[in-house]
Amino acid sequence: MEFRNPLNFDKELAKRNMRLGYLDTKKVLGKLEGFAYSFKRKSSILTQLDLLVENSVKEINERKSNRLVSDMEFVLDEDDRLLISRNNRKIEKDDYCLRLLEAIMELFEYDPEEVYNIKQVIKDMKVKFASVEKIDTKNWLRRFVKNSKIVIKELEKKNLIVNLAKELDEMDANIIALFYMAFPSESLLVILIKCILDL
């Protein structure tokens, strides 16, 4: 049996941690933006996305009938911000879409050691969304309505979220509201992906 000295650090891990620490310091100093990822600067495209997300949420609420989940308002509130917070850092309204964008980047396994341009990330995402395998979302949603305790497996999460985003306009708003109640952060990602596709 080989003895491994606990003081021998993995050099690659140490380099990675140093790089992430350097990027975090630049964020604290205001030289970079972001939470889990680093961006050169905020882009006006985030303001556009923020408006699109708000309008999508309003539109879903208007489509929702009063027969089902009538007391639930589908809104971007403090609880939603906590869902997507990073290291307990409070998400302000201005950072809302940025953090949602990062959550999508996490799904698609972007490298947190890189510094990104937001417009380029969105352009790249549209290509990634187009290549996501089509799945039968209606069947998945039927299963979900019958058993709302379904757990989304990590492997199917990306496909499901992107496919739901592509079909959001045709989807029953009550189902969207139920999905939001069970999977709030995933629902927010669905809406942002739809908005990115609409840009």
Q: How far is CA 132 from each of CA 115, 126, 156, 171, 184, rounded to the nearest angstrom?
A: 25, 10, 11, 19, 22
Full residue range of the structural domain in which residue 180 is found = 43-110+131-198
Sign of CA dihedral 28, 33, 34, 40: negative
- Asked whether residue 12 is assigned to any structural domain, the reply reads no
pLDDT at 148: 67
- Asked whether residue 183 is assigned to any structural domain, the reply reads yes
- Asked whether residue 32 is assigned to any structural domain, the reply reads no
pLDDT at 95: 80
Six-digit token string for 187: 């629902």
Is this structure's pTM higher than 0.95?
no
Task: Identify whether the C-beta of residue 76 lies closer than 8 Å to the C-beta of residue 96.
Answer: yes
- Per-residue H/E/C for 124-148: HHHHHHHCCCCCCHHHHHHHHHHCC
- Asked whether residue 28 is assigned to any structural domain, the reply reads no
Task: Give how many domains the chain has, as a whole number.
Answer: 1
Neighbours of 193 (CB within 10 A): 25
> What is the spatial distance between Cα 4 and Cα 30, in angstroms, rounded to a whole number?
41
pLDDT at 125: 96
The pLDDT tens digits of the residues spanning 23-45 come to 988 988 889 988 889 999 888 89
- Asked whether residue 123 is assigned to any structural domain, the reply reads no
The pLDDT tens digits of the residues spanning 136-170 come to 888 888 787 777 677 777 657 889 999 999 998 88
Tell me the pLDDT band of 66, cut-offs 50, 70 and 90: low
Coil, strand or helix at 105: helix
Task: Identify whether the C-beta of residue 46 lies closer than 8 Å to the C-beta of residue 121.
Answer: no
- Asked whether residue 171 is assigned to any structural domain, the reply reads yes
- Asked whether residue 60 is assigned to any structural domain, the reply reads yes
- Asked whether residue 30 is assigned to any structural domain, the reply reads no
pLDDT at 41: 82
Six-digit token string for 19: 């790089």
Q: How far is CA 92 from each of CA 40, 84, 194, rounded to the nearest angstrom?
A: 19, 11, 22
Mean pLDDT rounded to a whole number for the chain: 80
